[in-house]
A and B are shown apart, each in its own frame.
Chain A
Amino acid sequence: EPEVTQTPSHQVTQMGQEVILRCVPISNHLYFYWYRQILGQKVEFLVSFYNNEISEKSEIFDDQFSVERPDGSNFTLKIRSTKLEDSAMYFCASSPREGYTFGSGTRLTVV
């Protein structure tokens, strides 16, 4: 069964550093998403991406965040200058039109 692949599975970074979280969505999907889950809290929407542009973003997705689909297969989330409160599990998801397939997540720890 096709999968959404996320790398790395765990990343530790110093506060203020830039991180790039990578995702390979399912190849024939058209819609892409990033969600995050702070430990013990609910899954929160960050951003959706369709037709090579952001279609919706949440209040969390401020200027520190950006997304790219650089080569037609990867979908990346960049955090420019990480803060302690960015520590969370980050999930990528893709969708053909309905239903989402989530990746297994990247656990980001900012120290």
Chain B
Amino acid sequence: SQQGEEDPQALSIQEGENATMNCSYKTSINNLQWYRQNSGRGLVHLILIRSNEREKHSGRLRVTLDTSKKSSSLLITASRAADTASYFCATAPFRPNAGKSTFGDGTTLTVKP
């Protein structure tokens, strides 16, 4: 089965610094998504990158995908205290009706003001 595994498990930075989180997976994917979850709340979709894309930007977010290494990274630039949350990657198979995405344990990001 596909599996997203994030590292580091926890990251603590000062406001204004950049935060980089990594995700590795095991099998071929159609796309990979990053989500944010504030404590006890729902999953917020941040960005989707397709298997034929290498880099994608959205505001302060930059996602890269290396399919040869089966890894992705999420960079948050100029972090803010409001970015404090858990961040998860999830991979999607080529055939959506074949089922699931698999989430990793997530990276807990703390941005200190």
Name A residues whose Cβ lies closer than 8 Å to a Cβ of B: 30-31, 33, 35, 39, 42-45, 48, 50-51, 55-56, 58, 89, 91, 95, 97-105, 107
- In the complex with contacts A42-B106, A99-B48, A100-B90, A56-B101 CB distance below 8 A: no
Task: Name the B residues within 8 Å of A98 (CB-CB).
Answer: 30-31, 48, 50, 92, 96
Chain A residues near B41: list those with CB within 8 A. 104-105
New A-B contacts (9) at CB < 8 Å, excluding given A58-B100, A98-B30, A107-B40: A45-B99, A50-B96, A95-B96, A98-B48, A98-B96, A100-B101, A102-B35, A102-B43, A104-B42
Which residues of B approach A to under 8 Å, CB–CB? 30-31, 33, 35, 40-45, 48, 50, 88, 90, 92, 96-106
Contact residue among B50, B92, B100, B105 (Cβ-Cβ distance under 8 Å from A42): B105
Cα A89 to Cα B37 with chains together (Å):
12
A12: shortest Cβ distance to chain B, in Å? 15
CA distance A39 to B86 in the complex (A): 13
Q: Which residue of A has the minimal Cβ distance to B50?
A: A98
How many cross-chain pairs have Cβ atoms below 8 Å apart between A and B? 71
The binding surface of chain A is classed by DSSP as strand
Report yes or no: A33 in contact with B100, Cβ–Cβ below 8 A: yes
What's the least CB distance linking B57 to chain A, in Å?
17
CB-based contact A43/B103 at 8 Å:
yes
Assess A105 versus B100: contact at CB under 8 Å? Given A42-B106, A98-B92, A100-B33.
no
CB distance from A54 to the nearest CB of B (A): 9
- Which of B30, B42, B103 gathers the greatest number of chain A CB atoms within 10 Å? B42
Known: A97-B96, A98-B31, A98-B92. A45 touches B43 (CB 8 A): no
